[in-house]
Amino acid sequence: MADIASAVKPVLQLVNIHKSYGTGTRVEQEVLRGIDLSLRKGEFAALIGPSGSGKSTLLNLIGLLDQPSSGQLFINGEETSTLDDTSLTRLRGRSIGFVFQHSYLLEEFTALENVMLPLLATHGWPNEAMRTTARELLGRVGLERWKDHMATELSGGQQQRVAIARALAMKPSMILADEPTGNLDTRSADGVFDLLREVNSRLGTSFLIVTHDTRLARRCDRIIELVDGRIVSDQPNLQVVRHEAGE
């Protein structure tokens, strides 16, 4: 019975989330206004909206990099408002992977060493098990033969693939991707997007992708639109649903 409950439990759930800056001052600004949102295991969703709509603020809250002013935020069923910094860091490390517009690889490290970083942060001194995990992840993103190359020796698309492998190192239930293809040419962007889709399909990892690229948003299963701090639309992408159903 517990397994069934766990299977249907959302990976992410936000209940009436508000976020303001400068609270109690004359310049107080409310950025998020009553956000209700959930993400199930294996969902592949796009978050879209104009600049200034609150997308980055929302992503920071979901990534446990900031706290809401009010409301409840659950990660894998765990309510986060009462957690201290150590517990938030632990929950973030084991549950959430991040992919950004810039890969943020350490230039003085090899591809393999960059993928190992989350494992080192959690387990300390490197060991062969970590190296094996990193090699397997690089193989999964098609870069095993590049494992000993320095980050600066990789193309932009390859660097993003290493960043995706790094995001998978702790086997997170959810990956937050902030404009993951925004720095790439069309061909490289398509390759990175296809890789995200493959990870989603093979591993059942949930994805929430912030993008200004409507072409890529239309390839997601669900499109959530944020305007002026409110969700104005949250719909399944019927084109993708019909394609997967063979219609």
Beta bridge partners of 173: none
- pLDDT-derived band at 240, boundaries 50, 70, 90: low
Number of C-beta neighbours around residue 38 at 10 A = 14
Residue 124 CA from chain centroid, whole number: 24
Mean pLDDT of 154-168: 96
- pLDDT-derived band at 243, boundaries 50, 70, 90: low
pLDDT for position 27:
81
Residue 95 CA from chain centroid, whole number: 10
What domains lie within the chain, and their CATH numbers? 42-55+87-244 (3.40.50.300)
Q: pLDDT tens digits for 25-39?
A: 888 899 999 999 999
Q: pLDDT tens digits for 84-102?
A: 999 999 999 999 999 999 9
Q: pLDDT tens digits for 193-225?
A: 999 999 999 999 999 999 988 888 999 999 999
What is the spatial distance between Cα 4 and Cα 71, in angstroms, rounded to a whole number? Answer: 27
pLDDT for position 1:
38
Q: pLDDT tens digits for 167-198?
A: 999 999 999 999 999 889 999 999 999 999 99
